[in-house]
């Protein structure tokens, strides 16, 4: 069998994307970079799931910046309706125009065709992404459908046309298909199960908590002013907490906030009192805080050599 040709890493688009995202201060691992690359080239929506604070929203923002795309964001919530997600008619302007039409002696059908034209349409994020308006018409779009699992199931059904056909149907106007397909990123953290129909239309990736090495890299990128020792030991402590039995494990955003807080206090290493004072940056549940202070902290302090008098062993 002939030897496989060596891979030219400079021709590796996944590596190129990894570097471009790093330039936007977002650190990806190879599996995430690969799926981001594929979603762009296969023109398929990408569903990202993961625990809170692992960087799902931030990766969409960084990707938009890398692509020079306009970020159109739809924040989902319970009760989100087509009016807020797709489009609404501008009733106030339509009413005004009906009066003007009547004064001009226009027939009912004449007025009707005028007021149900695009200029009376208020584009909400999904329509704006498919059919951008104004000066933004020619810019690529990244549509971020954030926390899709917070919206109701009926809303998911409404999304399917956008996700599979990249089109929106407006009864009074017709079907509008995207001239240029937007990149679509959906995020979820399993508030409820998403339908198979939605999953089937997307590429999928689960963002795990980062490894220790990657988390250190992320914090260095986001918090260059923090001391190296503090970052290394702080990230290790957070990783230990994630291995504990807490109701809500700290995400990467918590790690960054915590180390930012310690840096603000002038800390260059961990110490007992500071860890206790700032534990609310990491644990966001009263039972978790009580469990840490009452059960786990002593063992943690021993492991990290944090002496009661504030010194480090």
Residues that bind ligand ATP (CB under 6 A): 25-27, 50, 52-58, 187, 189, 218, 221-222, 252-253, 256
User: Between 62 and 306, whose beta carbon lies closer to ligand ATP?
Assistant: 62
User: Between 54 and 130, whose beta carbon lies closer to ligand ATP?
Assistant: 54
Which whole-number Å values give the CA distances from 285 to 47, 77, 222, 257, 291, in the listed order?
28, 22, 25, 16, 10
User: Between 52 and 101, whose beta carbon lies closer to Mg ion?
Assistant: 52
Beta strands in the chain (DSSP E): 46-50, 70-75, 87-89, 121-123, 141-146, 167-170, 174-177, 183-188, 203-207
CB atoms within 10 A of CB 259: 27
Contact between 4 and 31 under an 8 Å Cβ cutoff? The reply is no
Q: In what order do the strands lie in the sheet with 141-146?
A: 70-75, 141-146, 183-188, 46-50, 203-207
User: Between 112 and 260, whose beta carbon lies closer to ligand ATP?
Assistant: 260
CB of 232 to ligand ATP, least distance (A): 17
Nearest to 50 by CA among 65, 66, 68, 28: 28
Contacting range for Mg ion; rule: CB under 5 A; set: 52-60, 100-108, 119-127, 215-223: 52-60
Contact between 167 and 178 under an 8 Å Cβ cutoff? The reply is yes
User: Between 51 and 271, whose beta carbon lies closer to Mg ion?
Assistant: 51
Rg over CA atoms, the chain: 25
Per-residue tokens: 118: 């695009």
Q: Which does 233 bind (CB under 5 to 8 A by kind): Mg ion, ligand ATP, none?
A: none
Decide: is 183 part of the binding site for Mg ion (CB under 5 A): no
CB of 199 to Mg ion, least distance (A): 19
Residue choice 18, 39, 46, 57 for contact with Mg ion (CB under 5 A)? 57
Q: Which does 125 bind (CB under 5 to 8 A by kind): ligand ATP, Mg ion, none?
A: none
User: Between 52 and 280, whose beta carbon lies closer to ligand ATP?
Assistant: 52
Which residue of this chain has its Cβ atom nearest to Mg ion in the complex?
Answer: 57
Q: Which does 26 bind (CB under 5 to 8 A by kind): Mg ion, ligand ATP, none?
A: ligand ATP
CA dist 234 and 269 (Å) reads 8
CA dist 6 and 44 (Å) reads 30
Site residues, Mg ion (CB under 5 A): 57
């Amino acid at each position: 069998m002939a030897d496989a040709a060596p891979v030219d890493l400079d021709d590796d688009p996944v590596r190129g994307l990894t570097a471009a995202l790093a330039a936007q201060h977002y650190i990806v691992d190879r599996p995430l970079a690969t799926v981001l690359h594929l979603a762009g080239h296969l023109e398929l929506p990408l569903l990202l799931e993961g625990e809170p604070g692992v960087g799902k929203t931030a990766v969409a923002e960084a990707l938009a910046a890398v692509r020079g795309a306009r970020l159109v964001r739809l924040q989902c919530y319970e009760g989100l309706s087509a009016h807020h997600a797709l489009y609404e008619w501008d009733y106030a302007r339509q009413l005004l125009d009906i009066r003007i039409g009547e004064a001009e002696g226009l027939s009912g059908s004449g007025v009707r065709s005028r007021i149900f034209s695009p200029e009376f349409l208020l584009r909400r994020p999904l329509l704006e992404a498919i059919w951008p308006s104004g000066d933004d018409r020619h810019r690529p779009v990244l549509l971020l459908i954030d926390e899709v699992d917070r919206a109701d199931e009926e809303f998911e059904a409404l999304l399917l046309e956008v996700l599979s056909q990249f089109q929106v149907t407006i009864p009074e106007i017709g079907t509008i298909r995207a001239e240029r397909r937007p990149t679509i990123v959906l995020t979820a953290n399993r508030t409820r199960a998403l339908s198979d129909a939605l999953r089937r239309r997307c590429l999928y990736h689960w963002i795990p908590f980062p490894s220790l090495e990657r988390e250190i890299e992320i914090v260095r990128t986001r918090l260059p002013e923090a001391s190296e020792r503090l970052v290394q030991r702080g990230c290790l402590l957070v990783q230990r907490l994630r291995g504990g039995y807490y109701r809500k494990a700290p995400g990467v955003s918590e790690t960054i906030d915590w180390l930012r807080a310690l840096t603000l206090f002038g800390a260059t290493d961990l110490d007992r009192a500071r860890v206790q004072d700032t534990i609310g940056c990491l644990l966001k549940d009263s039972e978790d805080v009580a469990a840490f202070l009452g059960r786990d902290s002593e063992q943690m302090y021993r492991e990290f050599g944090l002496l009661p008098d504030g010194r480090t062993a």
